[in-house]
Amino acid sequence: MSNTTSPRPLLEGALLAGISAILAFIGTYLPIAGTLAFFVVAVPIIVAIVRNNLFTGVLASITAFLLVSFLAGPIVGVGFYLQFMILALVYGVMFKNKKSAGKILGAGTIIAIATMVLNIFLIMVIGQIDLAEQKEVIYQSIDQVIRIYEESGLLEQYESQGISKEELRRIMTLMVNSFLSVLPSVLLVGSVFTAFVNFLVARSVLNKLGYKSPGFPPFSQWRVSWYVIWGLIIGWGSYLLGDIYQMNFFTIAGKNIMIGYSLLLLVLGLSVISFYFKKFKLTTFSRLLLITLGVLMFHIAALIIMFIGMFDLVLDFRKLSSDGKSS
């Protein structure tokens, strides 16, 4: 009897689908535990594919979708499938075919970003959410907060320090606008981080089950392809275009792209520094001294590290060969 029609894979897939659905339900309704649940929700489906086949994984993912839809509603179910099950299916196939960690994470990053954008679009369409109305609700909440400040006497303390009611409202409005302008990048970075943690947990679980999974190169050898720099150029160009011609959409888009890239460049810059720490065999005292200086001058150090990461993309300071060794 083939593996596809054998009852064992189907029963195993159903069990793993149930686990995935429970994790998704916890993630939806329990704030703290939910955050942790979302970090592992794709793992059961990945295990189902690696232990059996893609057919079992697809059935398990559909079963999980139906369970989540029944427990939390169809909109939550659709969002769950888009954000986690597609990722799980791709991860599962790539783990089973023994792809490298870099390729798996690269695919996971692309899927995480694409499904997050699609998820937001569908929520807005299906839920008929008007962004202008939502912003107006947020701005109304500012007036409510100021009213609470007035009733509690906090506003008098602000006024005694030279901050008037209108000035306080302006500061709060500015903070809200700043948060809303970077919200897309926050959501995307969070989605990519979730995909990354799901990869780590799946890799650990598969190793414990006896399946050889791809290992990570040392942190000092982490890198990405040079053409990734074009995304940063596009983001910077979009920001300048919006700023020069007062086109808010391009300004916000460029800002969010650059925020996302700043985290990537920070990691790459730290990887380059780690490489040279090892290459020059710096003592523990020297490393601690440099790290301490970096913490004390965090803003300057972060900018320097990001520039190192950016130039390494183009110039390849470490001259790493395809196997990760310095040439």
Q: Tell me the per-residue pLDDT of 206-236, one tens digit each, with 9 for 90 and over.
A: 999 888 888 778 899 998 888 889 999 999 9
Over range 294-298, report the average pLDDT: 91
Over range 8-37, report the average pLDDT: 71
Sign of CA dihedral 239, 180, 137, 33: positive
The SS3 call for residue 212 is coil
Q: What does the pLDDT look like over 226-270, one tens digit per residue?
A: 888 999 999 999 999 999 998 988 999 999 999 989 999 999 999
pLDDT attached to residue 3 = 47
Question: How would you classify residue 210: left for phi > 0, otherwise alpha for psi between -120 and 50, otherwise beta?
Answer: left
pLDDT attached to residue 233 = 93
- What domains sit in the chain, N to C, each tagged with a CATH number? 1-130+183-216 (1.10.1760.20), 217-327 (no CATH)
pLDDT attached to residue 230 = 93
For the cut 80, the answer to whether the pLDDT of residue 179 exceeds it is yes
Cα–chain center distance at 94: 20
pLDDT attached to residue 17 = 78
Q: How far apart are CA 237 and CA 258, in angstroms?
A: 10
Contacts of 88 by beta carbon, 8 Å cutoff, 6+ apart: 20, 42, 43, 44, 45, 46, 49, 57, 61, 198
Dump the DSSP string for 253-291.
HHHHHHHHHHHHHHHHHHHHHHHHHHHTT--HHHHHHHH
| Structure-token pair, residue 78 | 């659709």
For the cut 80, the answer to whether the pLDDT of residue 199 exceeds it is yes
* Predicted model pTM: 0.80
Q: What is the CA radius of gyration of the chain?
A: 24
- Which residue carries 């506003």 as its tokens? 155
